[in-house]
């Protein structure tokens, strides 16, 4: 009977095989005339999945990128998808995987925020609210009370 329930769930419309969480989304503030910025966070999936694309009203184009060292020169390269292994987290951070926001519609200002929606191969889309930290920040702004 259990196998039948699992089969039905797999065939049901809107079924998502994996569940994804996105923690601590943040971005660095940009210069007033900057046309690009980066966003960072930690993505975890309970099942095998992959991020296939992202979009945001803050930019005309959003891509997943990886920073690589090519003969001593750091370069950012687009990646077609970001693989998520079951139960493991992928941290998007400066100098590694990150979300590249190109064609910014307005500067990213410290203290403000904007949404990014991520699309997955096996999970429903997830929208996160990205908090904007100081220019050159090494991590998300921490609030103390």
Q: What is the CATH number of the domain that holds 97?
A: 2.60.40.1890
| pLDDT band, residue 136 (cuts 50/70/90) | confident
Which stretch of DSSP H or E encloses residue 77? strand 73-78
> Distance (Å, rounded) from C-alpha 113 to C-alpha 103?
17
- The pLDDT assigned to 13 comes to 47
Range of the domain at 41: 16-133
Residue 28 within a domain: yes
Residue 6 within a domain: no
Residue 7 within a domain: no
Residue 138 within a domain: no
Residue 124 within a domain: yes
Structurally, how many domains does the chain consist of? 1
- The pLDDT assigned to 140 comes to 82
| Contact of 56 with 117, CB cutoff 8 Å | yes
Which stretch of DSSP H or E encloses residue 61? strand 59-70
> Distance (Å, rounded) from C-alpha 119 to C-alpha 36?
21
Q: Which among 111, 114, 143 is positioned nearest to 128, based on CA atoms?
A: 114
- The pLDDT assigned to 15 comes to 47
Note the pLDDT tens digit of each residue in 82-125. Answer: 999 999 999 999 999 999 999 999 999 999 999 999 999 999 99
């Amino acid at each position: 009977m259990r196998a039948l329930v699992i089969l039905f769930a797999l065939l049901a419309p809107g079924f998502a095989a994996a569940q994804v969480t996105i923690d601590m989304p943040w971005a660095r503030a940009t210069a007033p005339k900057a046309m690009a910025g980066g966003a960072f966070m930690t993505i975890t999936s309970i099942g095998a999945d992959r991020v296939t694309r992202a979009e945001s009203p803050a930019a005309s184009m959003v891509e997943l990128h990886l920073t690589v060292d090519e003969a001593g020169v750091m370069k950012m390269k687009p990646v077609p998808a970001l693989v998520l292994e079951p139960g493991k987290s992928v941290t998007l951070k400066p100098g590694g995987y990150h979300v590249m926001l190109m064609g910014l519609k307005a500067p990213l200002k410290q203290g403000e925020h904007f949404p990014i929606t991520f699309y997955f191969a096996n999970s429903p889309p997830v929208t996160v609210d990205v908090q904007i930290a100081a220019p050159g920040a090494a991590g998300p702004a921490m609030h103390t009370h």
